[in-house]
Amino acid sequence: MARLTRSERLGKQGIVFFEVDGVLARLTKAQSAAPSKFANAVEAVSVMTPLALQMRKRVRDERKLASGVWGGYGRRASVLLSEQYATAAGLSRKYWPHSAAMHGNLKNGNKLFSVTGKMWESMQVRGMRQDRAVIDFQGSSVGRGVVVKRRTVKGVVTLKNVPETVRNQSKANSIFSRSKINILEPTDQELEACAVEVIMYSKQGLEATWGAVPSGSSTPAAFSEMAAMIRANLSKG
């Protein structure tokens, strides 16, 4: 039997969800059953989904970090990949003299932290508690593998890579543990742009109640696409 897609799984569970450019936005089962009761969480998901898309574009595609300039991949330690991981990444071999060499041979359009692409494909925004949402990564995918030492009967030590499947969130966590880079850290400007749209949405509701004409948004042009999506999401209620 073929495995269910994530959309099919969520549908069977009665969970409200939508997908935008590969980013899954979803509520919990309780939120899906009574969305009006969890209106603040629904609003949080509506705002954070465009933010997730903006951060993915900035980090993965534009190679810009919230913490500053990307310093490049390491050149000190050699890299030994599992065959499965090398194949998933489209690489011709498993051994590389260092991380920079391995990443330099990827055919991924120079995307940052995207060897097989599966981590970024698993990005999601999910409702949480009564009034919030969280951006993270779901599911698992093939990892680099675990390098182990093997000693032959003649005493020769060899290295072997044992394949492994890794949680996609663990991949993001390992980037932070190795490089102290949080790939899901928003910039101050991104947060300010989101805040502007939320404030404007609330203000328009008050102005409409009192019969005034809503004024325009002052969101910076650099975030116009994100802002437009937030406005559209909020207007849907």
DSSP line for 32-56: HH-TTTTHHHHHHHHHHHHHHHHHH
**CB-based contacts of 29, cutoff 8 Å, min separation 6:** 13, 14, 15
**Considering the domain boundaries, does residue 208 fall inside one?**
no
Q: How far is CA 211 from the centre of its chain?
A: 41
**Considering the domain boundaries, does residue 236 fall inside one?**
no
Provide the domain count of the chain.
Answer: 1
Pull the structure tokens for residue 109: 């359009």
**pLDDT at 220 (0 to 100):** 66
**pLDDT at 206 (0 to 100):** 41
Would you place residue 237 in the very low, low, confident or very high pLDDT band (cuts 50, 70, 90)? low
**pLDDT at 125 (0 to 100):** 92
**Considering the domain boundaries, does residue 233 fall inside one?**
no
Would you place residue 43 in the very low, low, confident or very high pLDDT band (cuts 50, 70, 90)? confident
Question: Contact at 8 Å (CB) between 214 and 203?
Answer: yes
pLDDT tens-digit series, residues 164-185: 899 999 999 999 998 889 999 9
**CB-based contacts of 114, cutoff 8 Å, min separation 6:** 60, 106, 108, 120
Domain of residue 21: give its range: 6-186
Lowest-confidence pick of 1-10, 69-78, 119-128? 1-10
Q: Which amino acid is at 210?
A: W
pLDDT: is 96 or 216 the higher one? 96
**Considering the domain boundaries, does residue 228 fall inside one?**
no
**Considering the domain boundaries, does residue 213 fall inside one?**
no
Average model confidence (pLDDT) across the chain = 82
The pairing of beta strand 123-128 with beta strand 23-26: parallel
**Considering the domain boundaries, does residue 1 fall inside one?**
no
CB burial of 10-33 (b: ≥16 within 10 Å; e: otherwise) equals beeeebbbeeeeebbbbbbeebbe
Check whether 211 has a pLDDT greater than 50: no
CA distance linking residue 1 with residue 28, whole number of Å: 27
**Considering the domain boundaries, does residue 196 fall inside one?**
no
Instruction: Please report which residue ranges of 91-223 form alpha helices under DSSP H.
Output: 99-104, 118-121, 168-179, 188-209
pTM of the model: 0.81
Place of tokens 């044992």: 162
CA distance linking residue 198 with residue 94, whole number of Å: 48
**Considering the domain boundaries, does residue 147 fall inside one?**
yes
**pLDDT at 192 (0 to 100):** 86
Residue ranges of E strands in the chain: 17-20, 23-26, 79-80, 95-96, 123-128, 132-137, 140-142, 146-151, 157-162, 165-167
In terms of residues, how long is the chain? 237
